[in-house]
Amino acid sequence: MATDPIFEPLQMRGFTVKNRIFRSSISGRFDNYDGSGNQARINWELKFARGGVGAIISSYVPVTIRGRILPNYATIDRDDRIPFWREVGRRVHESDCRFILQLSHGGRQRDIGGIEFPKGLSSTDDSDPVHGFECERMTLAQIKETVQAFAAGARRARTAGLDGVELHGANGYLITQFLSSAINDRRDDYGGILRNRARFVLEIVAAIRAEVGRDYHLQMKISAVEYNNALAPFEPAGNTLEDSIQVCKWLEEAGVDALHVSSGSSFPHPRNPPGEFPVQDALKTFDSMISSGTKELGNYLALRTAPTARLHVMNWNSARGDVIEGITLPEARAIRAAVKIPVICTGGFQTASVIRTALNDGSCHAVSIARPLIANNDLVKQFALGADRAPKPCTYCNKCLVNVLENPLGCYDETRFSSREQMIEQIMSVFQPAPFDAESTHA
């Protein structure tokens, strides 16, 4: 009998992944305000390791405090963060699951920046067209410092015994802000032609290689097509697939070991995560962002007004298109044909037969999954038992996404549960086991 391609091991630099399903990054505000990690983060990652995924790509992990997008994300900005990440890796490894840490810097794209740094850093000093997040154009000294912060983050991840690192080079964060022809308006060596716009990320790759050597796994998540004008039609479209293929070739030459293909010049974007825009849930949490961007009050009021909210939903759906599951496969296929390193594709996967076809027809070497694993933590185990889909699949409603600004991460689609209480119980389960046992402190 032919083996199931989903359960074929995948060789990466320095380690083997037991199957072709990676848990894609899904950030939640579980940790402490100061960037130290806590037990809820470990509980979160264990849900997926125990559910059978071959590898977990961590949530967004800031390499500096200024690079965070929301408080309460565990960071990797100092050596004293290493023991926490070592413990996360140790626990995930117990389920024969690999752990790749996502090295991240938000640049100007920050939902709630926190108290330390009122403004983000960027390739530009223009605020972004949708939210109006203000920023400072990075000086050459700040660029150098940030490149070194990524390298130090990689060193800390290796010291912590994690299997590798992923550069968050997608969806509008700092690396995209340099790569993007729509965002980067510099006139120095870091702006203008594609090679110059890629200089920042190529310097990061070189600095990481200098710090951790050639043997430590390094991959990069990239927005293959930016669709920068998806919600702001007067803006330029941004990088094309051809631009990104060239960048991927340079990354491969520079020593990147795998590519993770996404799309969109912002986060969220109609094409990532592909699905609905849940207006009512957004109205309950987007108030927290009003002080973050100059356009947020206007955006919030527009969402509260029925005709403009309807228009936004219409634009969102039309910018996404009809395909959700495998939305990024055409781009992944084109990149795979241009490089020799493994290609991972993100976007809507939750049907075993669809994933098998993507693997068999050579579109990608593996897929990554985020929301369908929030909905069904054990989806891979269900595939192993022969299911094509979970009985209660993810509905792509994106309620998990908009709740994340204020509430714990989990599935917020009440229609998937027998009661609201059951849904809340599932969301709160991330806090079990608790960090310490209150009973024992009274002994």
Angle, CA of 98, 271 and 327, to the nearest 5°: 70
Q: Is residue 48 near ligand SF4 by the rule CB under 6 A?
A: no
Between 144 and 392, CB nearer to ligand SF4: 392
Nearest to 63 by CA among 208, 189, 191: 208
The single residue among 12, 170, 218, 394 that binds ligand SF4, judged by CB under 6 A, is: 394
What does 369 bind: ligand FMN, ligand SF4, none (CB cut-off 5 to 8 Å by kind)? ligand FMN
C-alpha–C-alpha distance, residues 117 and 29, integer Å: 18
User: Does the protein bind ligand SF4 through residue 426 (CB under 6 A)?
Assistant: no
Out of ligand FMN, ligand SF4, none, which partner does residue 239 contact, by CB within 5 to 8 A per kind? none
Q: What is the rounded distance in angstroms from the CA atom of residue 130 to the CA atom of residue 314?
A: 16
220 binds ligand SF4 (CB under 6 A): no
Min CB(61)–ligand FMN separation in Å? 8
374 binds ligand SF4 (CB under 6 A): yes
* Partner from ligand SF4, ligand FMN, none binding residue 347, C-beta < 5-8 Å depending on class: ligand FMN
The number of residues that bind ligand SF4 (CB under 6 A) is 15
For position 13 contacting ligand SF4 by CB under 6 A, the verdict is no
Q: Please, what is the minimum distance in Å from the beta carbon of residue 70 to ligand SF4?
A: 18
CB nearer to ligand FMN: give 168 or 336: 168
Amino acid, single-letter form, for residue 155: R
Q: With respect to ligand FMN, which residue has the nearer C-beta, 10 or 409? A: 409
Residue 364 contacts residue 344 (beta carbons within 8 Å): yes
CB closer to ligand FMN, 334 vs 404: 404
Q: 55: which 2 tokens?
A: 């590898």
Q: Does 397 bind ligand SF4 (CB under 6 A)?
A: yes
- Contacting positions for ligand FMN (CB under 6 A): 24-27, 59-60, 102, 168, 170, 221, 262, 272-273, 346-349, 369-372, 400-401, 404, 409
Q: Find which of ligand SF4, ligand FMN, none residue 320 binds, CB within 5 to 8 Å per kind.
A: none
What does the alpha-carbon distance between residue 115 and residue 129 come to, in Å, rounded to a whole number?
A: 23
Q: Which does 412 bind (CB under 5 to 8 A by kind): ligand FMN, ligand SF4, none?
A: ligand SF4
Q: Is 411 in the site for ligand SF4 (CB under 6 A)?
A: yes
C-alpha to C-alpha distance for 335 and 329, rounded to whole angstroms: 10
**Judged by CB under 6 A, which of 312, 412, 423, 430 binds ligand SF4?**
412
User: How many angstroms separate the first and last alpha carbons of the chain?
Assistant: 59
Choose one: 40-48, 84-92, 178-186, 393-401; the region binding ligand SF4 (CB under 6 A). Answer: 393-401
Residue 409, CA distances (Å) to 29, 308, 398, 421, 433 in order: 7, 28, 11, 16, 16
The item of ligand FMN, ligand SF4, none sharing an interface with residue 258, based on CB under 5 to 8 Å by kind, is: none
Q: Among residues 134, 163, 203, 413, which is the contact residue for ligand SF4, using CB under 6 A?
A: 413
Based on CB atoms, which residue is closest to ligand SF4, 69 or 374? 374
Using CB atoms within 10 Å of the CB of residue 192, give its burial: 0 to 12 exposed, 13 to 18 middle, 19+ buried.
middle
Residue number, 105 or 186, with CB nearest to ligand FMN: 105
Name the token pair of 61: 């992990």
- Identify which of residues 184 and 376 has a Cβ nearer to ligand FMN in the complex: 376
Given a contact cutoff of 8 angstroms between Cβ atoms, the answer to whether 325 and 350 are in contact is: yes
In whole angstroms, how close is the CB of 220 to ligand SF4 at the nearest point? 26
Q: Which does 346 bind (CB under 5 to 8 A by kind): ligand FMN, ligand SF4, none?
A: ligand FMN
**29 or 156, CB closer to ligand FMN?**
29
Least spacing, CB of residue 421 vs ligand FMN, in Å: 22
Closest CB to ligand FMN among 186 and 411? 411
User: Interface with ligand SF4 by CB under 6 A: which residues?
Assistant: 275, 371, 374-375, 394-400, 411-413, 416
